[in-house]
A and B are shown apart, each in its own frame.
Chain A
């Protein structure tokens, strides 16, 4: 595995999840994998794995590929909002010297 959230590492992690759900049969497994990725992976990682799928999805196990496909469908339904900088902080009470 590589030391970053590169596709290689994400593929490995997604396939690992896939191996757990695979014995549950096709439909449950695809739903289970997709649900797990949605519940536990941050959007940045989901975005990358979807992007990888869009580029061919090499290395993704078949059920994982299908699960990521459902994520892609959801993403296209609700495009990710841009990561805007924080504006919620009021003026600080302390000022640096």
Chain B
């Protein structure tokens, strides 16, 4: 495997369709109008020396190293800031230029440490390379003059260091922070020779607004900003492109390696989802892969009160197979099931559902999308015929109006948020529907035009009120509706939304959003040009989650905001492979490609291939499994990559369900909370240790590439294969590519997908088949998968989770930038410096009423349970609303969430829980008990000690 190097063209590509022809060093060059001379030269392989230019950011023209001569023009213009012109004749290397560049370089080096041999960037330093390029042999000024060589390093950030002594003040880091990340955390402090890069107002990086996305580190041409892992390990010697294992943006990274040691993850510029950008999780938070807590040997125990006993893989598989068969023999074939995870690859997920359907003989397979985006699948399939978002991420560049509903992209999907912020800085308008004041409401150079701070649980009312305005004020896109929708359905819907009860004035009373704001937001969405909706779990995790997705679809249909760039309905998927897990048939009612299990044709494809008869009835969902377990009819479960005890609602009920089962098999990296109730633990592998694919929120299938051997011995797909074989179900695969071949052969929307194609194209977006051999960036152009777009009536039904005297506040839950889901991975990285515990956000008014001060321990109690955590007093939440995250098992925020769920999909109502907050002295009795139980449960017997 070789080192992948990406060409730096110096300046961004021009988007012009018009071509310009010029001559560079005697070569004829054809480039788009607007291209810089520097980039045009690089297009034909001529590297003009540069320091302040890099193609991720706009040209700046400060280093004066990239000077060129242009025939007929006076002077020596900077090639980075000079655009090409027809007939231009450029010379990049002349005696005059050589002398100028050498002189410039002398000045730089006169104030730079000469420690190249011991510098962490040695061999990968642009300054060093350029000094060589210009032929620098000595520095006439000497090194004794004023300099910055004694400037103090800033080591505050856990992942990178800032050494101002090595800084050449090229401004690349500052411009990357502004243009790529959009945080504006960096600036130049001082003037002239005193100019220094400053995080915030000359603060340590850790204490500044810096979000540790790594854009500045990537942009730095020297060792000024450099990864601490590179300082520790040294420069990498080979690399592979892979897909991030965190959120649904699905960023591509170059995993840079020395042997089997990961040196650093560098965002891949050719990655179609991230275009060379990253966030703190994907860029830096991969240390969990080698964390001491990782379990590397299979373990079994007869009772969960016993310590674990390490066993061979063979014994673990045999024990698991025996137990599952025993249970089925005693309690019937439907008494066992499995849960896949969005952390799994497509291939792993496909195998698990195959194991369940073909091996267990039932359809009791579900996935963690049950508790996040299952309403997306239902809603978008009903409206458009396809259970997926309509656009690619690049589409946002063409949006004129962006409407964010129940999502917090800067925390949950930070890399896409940066794209979004860039478009907003270019002038796109912004509407935000969220009970909480997310960062995008107002941040540097971004301000929402309308924020609708609705009462939790009133999404449907507000969205239907927006539709009311669109219909009653004549803002419907009639041509689109006439051509693309059923006229009778539209008419019925238009009459429904026009009813007085759906007017903004009526809805103001339930939602708390001023009618005027609703009206103005609706007008902007309908008339502001290309309008795109981006939404998250604030939409889906409600008792009307599916209705809300349908209400969003209605808005897009009514205004014709579908079927082209810049528009659409875009679910922001939480985990890396939510889309893929759903695509692969891990819902109990659907085969891969969203074909219902009752579809005889679809079923027969698998029956013939697998040589079994499949059950045509839907199986149990996760909550059904837990209910059945409590009832005593469901007794065995295989859970890969999911921690339902921490992530699913009503922890007590989940614990009761798991506790009632006779065989709980957990396959994971760590002894997670669910494993406290497990009888068999199969150690899993990280995304660095296996091959496969992930499918991101824009339906983009990207390769996951193995860069190191699985520390546990097997990749996850191999574990499922071996478990299946122990059960007697033959799975004949030598490599995940063969699993994808089977998926492609049996799933129409994936028919054109193969590892070979992914290697060739980098990634593809499904549908990828004969009609779209290179994939489908934008869906529903010209027609919908279901023929006509479907308008659906969305009556607002208030949740039954109501506030009252005992529980007067509404709790809503969410995520934070530095942590991922239940935190099992990120809590085992240095990301804990940003968030070492879950905090309860409470408005100053509510805090004052309860005598709560910032940092106090508080008890959070609901009808379901109670826990304690520390308070964060902030007006980010409205009076009457409190908010927390669920990243830490010591808090177990889901102990208070309830069993209320979406009517269509059983997606839990995480976003609305009636609670009371009171002062507390510390952990609750339950928390203490749980901690003790978890400690007991995680005991691993010495190898000589008998476990049973």
CA distance A5 to B633 in the complex (A): 11
Instruction: Name the distance in Å between A25's Cβ and chain B's nearest Cβ.
Output: 9
Whether B656 sits at the interface, judged by CB under 8 Å, is: yes
Whether B328 sits at the interface, judged by CB under 8 Å, is: yes
Q: Are A42 and B727 in touch, CB under 8 angstroms? A: no
Contacts of A42 in B (CB 8 A): 334, 363, 588, 617-620, 624
Chain A 1-29 near chain B by CB (<8 Å), digits 1 or 0: 10111000100010011011011100000
Given contacts A5-B624, A94-B314, contact A17 B333 (CB under 8 A): no
Whether B543 sits at the interface, judged by CB under 8 Å, is: yes
Q: Are A86 and B618 in touch, CB under 8 angstroms? A: no
**Interchain CB contact (< 8 A) of B596 among A39, A41, A89, A93:** A39
Contacts of A23 in B (CB 8 A): 496, 793, 795
Contacts of A74 in B (CB 8 A): none
Chain A 25-50 near chain B by CB (<8 Å), digits 1 or 0: 00000000000100111111100000
CA distance A44 to B625 in the complex (A): 11
Given contacts A86-B361, A97-B315, contact A17 B332 (CB under 8 A): no
Q: Are B612 and A40 in touch, CB under 8 angstroms? A: no
Q: Are A20 and B328 in touch, CB under 8 angstroms? A: no
List residues of B (578-606) whose CB comes within 8 Å of A's CBs: 588-589, 596, 598
Contacts of A41 in B (CB 8 A): 618
Whether B319 sits at the interface, judged by CB under 8 Å, is: yes
CA distance A93 to B904 in the complex (A): 41
Given contacts A4-B627, A92-B318, contact A86 B904 (CB under 8 A): no
List residues of A (67-97) whose CB comes within 8 Å of B's CBs: 83-86, 88-97
Whether B729 sits at the interface, judged by CB under 8 Å, is: yes
Q: Are A92 and B618 in touch, CB under 8 angstroms? A: no
**Interchain CB contact (< 8 A) of A36 among B360, B620, B904:** B904
CA distance A8 to B672 in the complex (A): 33
Contacts of A16 in B (CB 8 A): 543, 797, 903
Given contacts A3-B899, A19-B795, contact A89 B318 (CB under 8 A): no
Q: Are B598 and A85 in touch, CB under 8 angstroms? A: no
**Interchain CB contact (< 8 A) of B334 among A9, A44, A97:** A44
Q: Are A39 and B598 in touch, CB under 8 angstroms? A: yes
Residue of A19, A41, A89 with highest tally of chain B CB at under 10 A: A89
Contacts of A92 in B (CB 8 A): 318, 321-322, 325, 726-728
Whether B653 sits at the interface, judged by CB under 8 Å, is: yes
CA distance A42 to B728 in the complex (A): 26
Q: Are A96 and B589 in touch, CB under 8 angstroms? A: no
Number of interface residues of A (CB under 8 A): 35
Contacts of B589 in A (CB 8 A): 39-40
Instruction: Name the distance in Å between B660's Cβ and chain A's nearest Cβ.
Output: 10
Q: Are B329 and A86 in touch, CB under 8 angstroms? A: yes
CA distance A27 to B904 in the complex (A): 19
Contacts of B299 in A (CB 8 A): none
**Interchain CB contact (< 8 A) of A3 among B363, B627, B904:** B627
Q: Are A89 and B325 in touch, CB under 8 angstroms? A: yes
Given contacts A20-B547, A94-B321, contact A39 B618 (CB under 8 A): yes
Contacts of A4 in B (CB 8 A): 627-628, 630-631
Residue of A3, A22, A43, A91 with highest tally of chain B CB at under 10 A: A3
List residues of B (310-361) whose CB comes within 8 Å of A's CBs: 314-315, 317-319, 321-322, 325, 328-330, 332-334, 359-361
Residue of A9, A92, A97 with highest tally of chain B CB at under 10 A: A92
Contacts of A94 in B (CB 8 A): 314-315, 317-318, 321, 726
Whether B725 sits at the interface, judged by CB under 8 Å, is: yes
Instruction: Name the distance in Å between B928's Cβ and chain A's nearest Cβ.
Output: 24
Chain B 170-188 near chain A by CB (<8 Å), digits 1 or 0: 0000000000000000000
Q: Are A95 and B318 in touch, CB under 8 angstroms? A: yes
Whether B820 sits at the interface, judged by CB under 8 Å, is: no
Contacts of A85 in B (CB 8 A): 328-330, 332-333
CA distance A41 to B619 in the complex (A): 8
Residue of B332, B618, B628, B630 with highest tally of chain A CB at under 10 A: B618
Q: Are B618 and A40 in touch, CB under 8 angstroms? A: yes
Q: Are A24 and B727 in touch, CB under 8 angstroms? A: no
Complex: chain B residue closest to A41, CB-CB: B618
Contacts of B727 in A (CB 8 A): 89, 92
CA distance A36 to B543 in the complex (A): 16
Given contacts A39-B598, A85-B328, contact A5 B795 (CB under 8 A): no
List residues of A (56-73) whose CB comes within 8 Å of B's CBs: none
CA distance A20 to B906 in the complex (A): 14
Contacts of B334 in A (CB 8 A): 42, 44, 83
Contacts of B617 in A (CB 8 A): 42-43
Contacts of B618 in A (CB 8 A): 39-42
Whether B900 sits at the interface, judged by CB under 8 Å, is: yes
**Interchain CB contact (< 8 A) of A96 among B322, B546, B729, B903:** B322
Contacts of A24 in B (CB 8 A): 793
Instruction: Name the distance in Å between A30's Cβ and chain B's nearest Cβ.
Output: 15
CA distance A85 to B147 in the complex (A): 81
List residues of B (723-780) whose CB comes within 8 Å of A's CBs: 725-729
Chain B 644-687 near chain A by CB (<8 Å), digits 1 or 0: 00000010010010000000000000000000000000000000
CA distance A88 to B797 in the complex (A): 46
Q: Are B900 and A1 in touch, CB under 8 angstroms? A: yes
**Interchain CB contact (< 8 A) of A20 among B598, B630, B904:** B904
CA distance A27 to B721 in the complex (A): 48
CA distance A36 to B727 in the complex (A): 34
Contacts of A45 in B (CB 8 A): 624
Contacts of B797 in A (CB 8 A): 16, 19-20
Instruction: Name the distance in Å between B759's Cβ and chain A's nearest Cβ.
Output: 34
CA distance A52 to B144 in the complex (A): 92
Q: Are A17 and B903 in touch, CB under 8 angstroms? A: yes
CA distance A86 to B359 in the complex (A): 9
Complex: chain A residue closest to B588, CB-CB: A42
CA distance A41 to B617 in the complex (A): 9
Contacts of A96 in B (CB 8 A): 315, 318-319, 322
Contacts of B546 in A (CB 8 A): 20
Q: Are A83 and B333 in touch, CB under 8 angstroms? A: yes
Contacts of B627 in A (CB 8 A): 3-5, 9
Complex: chain A residue closest to B364, CB-CB: A42
Q: Are B619 and A90 in touch, CB under 8 angstroms? A: no
CA distance A34 to B576 in the complex (A): 35
Closest 10 CB pairs of A and B: A94-B318, A16-B903, A83-B332, A90-B728, A89-B728, A23-B793, A5-B627, A23-B795, A86-B328, A4-B631
In the assembled complex, 24 residue pairs joining A and B whose CB atoms fall closer than 8 Å, in A order, are A3-B650, A3-B653, A3-B899, A4-B631, A9-B627, A16-B543, A16-B797, A19-B903, A24-B793, A36-B904, A39-B589, A42-B363, A42-B617, A42-B620, A83-B333, A85-B329, A85-B330, A86-B329, A86-B360, A90-B728, A92-B318, A92-B728, A93-B728, A96-B318
B interface list, Cβ under 8 A from A: 314-315, 317-319, 321-322, 325, 328-330, 332-334, 359-361, 363, 496, 543-544, 546-547, 588-589, 596, 598, 612, 617-620, 624, 627-628, 630-631, 633, 650, 653, 656, 725-729, 793, 795, 797, 899-900, 903-906
Given contacts A44-B628, A92-B727, 11 further A-B contacts (CB under 8 A): A1-B899, A3-B630, A5-B628, A20-B795, A36-B904, A40-B905, A83-B332, A85-B329, A86-B329, A94-B317, A97-B315
